[in-house]
Structure 1
Amino acid sequence: MKKTPLLNIALSRVVASLGHGDVLMIVDAGMPVPPGVELIDLAVTHGIPDFASVLNTVLAEMQVESHVIAEEMHERRPPALAVLNELNTVGRLGEQRLISHEALKQLSRSARAIVRTGECQPYTNIALVAGVVF
């Protein structure tokens, strides 16, 4: 049995397979997933699981060098933005890059995988760029 909190087999496998610079996205229930990109669909119903819980669980196993969010997230201020700001303050997400929501959708085409949550707040999406532990 694993000692870390991440129990989902598919998600654990993807995190373990990431190399430096690879992108893993955690997204809300409405974010489109491009053809050919692996989808790990955790969504059960509205809000379950929520974005923050999935993000915090992934961060328990993934080394993050930087992250990308949509500028619209700062404009619309979904509840998850407070979580991201707190994680930024303690240095768990690395450098932040802001791009348009449309550009984030384009970036999703190059993601190793996209994790869909049950989050139903618009623009609650993040692209995590894998770092190294050495």
Structure 2
Amino acid sequence: MYKTGILNSDISKVLSDLGHTDRIVIADCGLPIPKGVRKIDLALTFGVPSFENVFEIVLKHMSVQKMIFAEEIKTENKALFEKVSQTKVEQQFVSHETFKVLTQDTVAIIRTGEATPFANVILESDVLF
């Protein structure tokens, strides 16, 4: 049995299979999921689990070289923007419309119960060496 790490077997499998530059999304409960992209639905109710909880745990277990956010997070969700800005990972900002297009080329979208605006991120996988 898996002793440490992420207990959700779907997330654990996705992270184990990532290659360099593969991308996953951590999303609020309102982000559209493109057809053909794997959805890992963790949402139980509004706010549970939160974007922040899932984001922090995934970052502990994934080597990330870049994070992509919608530009709108800076003005429409300042509290979350301030928290995610504290990471030392490269950050890129695009329009929300562009963000939604980029989700079409991701390995999986992890849907949280987050119900605040623009609480979404695309995480781009790094290499360990």
Instruction: State TM-score, norm by structure 1.
Output: 0.92
Count of residue correspondences: 129
Shift of 1:3: 3.9
8 Å Cα contact 1:28/1:117 also seen in 2:
yes
The whole-number CA distance in structure 2 between the counterparts of 1:31 and 1:43 is 12
Give 1:93-132 correspondences, 5 Å limit: 94-132=89-127
Give 1:37-116 correspondences, 5 Å limit: 37-87=37-87, 91=88, 94-116=89-111
Instruction: State TM-score, norm by structure 2.
Output: 0.95
Bigger mean CA offset, 19-28 vs 71-80 = 71-80
Shift of 1:16: 0.5
Q: What do you get for the CA RMSD once the two structures are aligned?
A: 1.1
| 3-state SS of 1:133 partner | coil
The whole-number CA distance in structure 1 between the counterparts of 2:75 and 2:92 is 15
Letter in 2 for 1:118: G
Which segments of 5 or more consecutive residues in structure 2 lack a partner in the other structure? none
8 Å Cα contact 1:78/1:121 also seen in 2:
no
| 3-state SS of 2:97 partner | helix
Shift of 1:56: 0.8
Give aligned-pair identity as a percent.
40
Which segments of 5 or more consecutive residues in structure 1 lack a partner in the other structure? none
Give 1:31's aligned residue: 31
**Which 4+ residue blocks in structure 1 deviate beyond 6 angstroms?**
none
The whole-number CA distance in structure 1 between the counterparts of 2:44 and 2:78 is 20
